[in-house]
Amino acid sequence: MYNANKIVIFDWGGVIESHREGEYSLNTAITNFIKHFNNKVNENNLIERYFDVCTRKVEEGNKENTWFDKIRNEFNLQCSEDDFYKFYEEEFNRIEYYKDVVEYAHSLKSKCKIGILSNLGKVDIARLDKQVDLKVFDYVWLSCELKCSKPNEKVYKIVEKDCNISPNNILFIDDVQKNLEPAKERGWNTCNAYGYELDKIRNSVEKFINE
């Protein structure tokens, strides 16, 4: 039976797209991407530095330099903007994702509302859409459009305002615990899981829907 007063919200990275060591994951793509344009780059904290630049860019919006400029300057990349984006698309489209999680998310459409809530840049929207078919989801909240990122409390307030659903009728699935804490404090149901833990996700969702 369909319940329009409940919503299950999925994170993307880690829950749908792989962050798992041993798979062709986001971190693998980032490392290969940066090293392609600077094979002498210092790999210490490379991933953390990359995400720090991305987060700052999201929060700054259109201010100052472009994302390309910021990444190029941070890692001293030797490339044109066209080559940068061309190789980015090629490399990041190789990242594995969990098709069974996508299929499960789509299957919930007949039971409740479904949404995506993810921290990502505009350059990643096409890849996200290719993986999950965004038009199937009732709501899509992306940090690059919200101009703020999880775990900023502003994100969760926007979600509540947009969907107009009581916090206790929201289930949020994310692989990063710190992104779940503000949701939990606001009364949301939460599930800390990776995409390869579909049984855990399914059990949490079924319990939520049947409550």
Determine how β-strand 139-142 pairs with β-strand 112-118: parallel
Same domain, 49 and 128: no
Residue 59 has what pLDDT?
59
- Give residue 57's pLDDT band: very low, low, confident or very high (50, 70, 90): low
Same domain, 37 and 9: no
Task: Give the residue numbers spanning the domain of 153.
Answer: 3-21+97-210
Same domain, 30 and 129: no
pTM beyond cutoff 0.85: yes
Same domain, 48 and 73: yes
Q: Which of 93, 109, 130 is the last residue of a domain?
A: 93
Say how far apart CA 114 and CA 79 lie, in whole Å: 40
Same domain, 89 and 147: no
Q: Which residues contact 125 (CB under 8 A, 6 or more apart)?
A: 142, 144
Same domain, 66 and 140: no
| pLDDT tens digits, one per residue of 107-147 | 999 999 999 999 998 999 999 999 999 999 999 999 999 99
Say how far apart CA 138 and CA 131 lie, in whole Å: 16
Same domain, 136 and 198: yes
Structurally, the chain folds into a number of domains equal to 2
Same domain, 134 and 198: yes
